[in-house]
Structure 1
């Protein structure tokens, strides 16, 4: 499986800086190599991928971690997100999806396999009453951008919908994440659903 991933990624111009066969090796390799993105399995010898993710993200160098697993299980999904993973992809994803996922996560965005996105929203989105919802100080335009993020639109699609430049959308998304205290787009979408902003 690792050899297959390496072949796919290198053929797409993505440098594979290292490999690890166990969770402990992954933690050590991440510290030594300082990669931009780590592809992490859930079930591995020695230490599972969830614990390895936690340990890697507790280090000084904090790569983005993309969980790639055959197991479409809620407990793995939510444990991975709680541990700080930036993405969750199933191994049945095609080569193009894998490459795109690595690039999305490397750019600082979050990514969830389409099969699991709805479950994340359903589990975490419990609308608050207007009185209990905190005011994050979003501008009207930032609220529009947040609503469109919650529709799973890309920056390019948001730009087209709002008739503004993609660079402007990136600025709005960055402001939204900062004001919400959200680490990525997934966390922002969960916030939007929980507080009735989407």
Structure 2
């Protein structure tokens, strides 16, 4: 059997090690690279060109959703499976809208992880068995009625929004992204105007609801 070459991305070393062990026990699946954040995942995806990338949704710096968006653009042939502890419709839809081919909860059984991999590799969208398609449809209708989502932001604006919501100030964001403070402030003003949110608490709440960050992060 031809191996399915997998890139695994999770910022928790023990979790990543556990998933790696599970994958190693499955026939025809080979982990070719591991990443600790979205930026590393994107870099390794371009280098190794795996068949499948399995990404945690909540990673600092560049989260799994943003990594999915960028991998989808740079490496369109890679299948993308989101792995998360969050079952809310907001997180699921953010992942699917970004380009994920499947969404699996971290507390799923090992056999469901393997089933998700096989199904995604066949080109079939996979949703964890605990997720309700009806609830997702309802959420999509609700979002359509409300209008704006994180999709209206540019990739750079989403990145800056995530860093703001994680508690970083302008100087720290500028250093992290190798930008000038003035450029960061310009992006910040533009994303506030686009979202019609004009204070940091509002941006944090929006980032949580949009799946850019989690409460724990």
Please name the residue that 1:46 is paired with. Answer: 61
Which deviations, in whole Å up to 9, do the C-alpha atoms of 1:96-130 show, x marking residues without a partner?
1111111111111110012223322333479xxxx
Unaligned runs of 5+ in 2: 1-14, 143-217
Match of 2:138 among 107, 122, 131: 122
Following superposition of structure 1 onto structure 2, how do residues 77-96 of structure 1 map, counting pairs within 5 Å? 77-96=92-111
> Cα–Cα, structure 1 residues 34 and 61, in superposed 2: closer, same or farther, change >3 Å?
farther
Please name the residue that 1:152 is paired with. Answer: none
For residue 44 of structure 1, give the secondary structure of its aligned residue in structure 2: coil
Contact 2:90 2:139 in 1 (8 A): no
Contact 1:21 1:45 in 2 (8 A): no
Provide the aligned length of Structure 1 versus Structure 2: 126
Contact 2:45 2:75 in 1 (8 A): no
The yes-or-no answer on 1:69 pairing with 2:84 is yes
Cα distance in 2 for partners of 1:118, 1:5 equals 29
Please name the residue that 2:30 is paired with. Answer: 15
Q: TM-score, normalised by structure 2?
A: 0.55
Q: CA RMSD in A?
A: 1.6
Which deviations, in whole Å up to 9, do the C-alpha atoms of 1:116-163 show, x marking residues without a partner?
23322333479xxxxxxxxxxxxxxxxxxxxxxxxxxxxxxxxxxxxx
Q: TM-score, normalised by structure 1?
A: 0.60
Structure in which a larger fraction of residues adopt strand: 2
Cα distance in 1 for partners of 2:76, 2:32 equals 15
Unaligned runs of 5+ in 1: 127-198
Cα distance in 1 for partners of 2:73, 2:33 equals 20
Which deviations, in whole Å up to 9, do the C-alpha atoms of 1:73-105 show, x marking residues without a partner?
222111101101000110010011111111111
Contact 1:56 1:62 in 2 (8 A): no
Contact 1:18 1:29 in 2 (8 A): yes
Give the CA deviation at 1:61.
Answer: 4.2
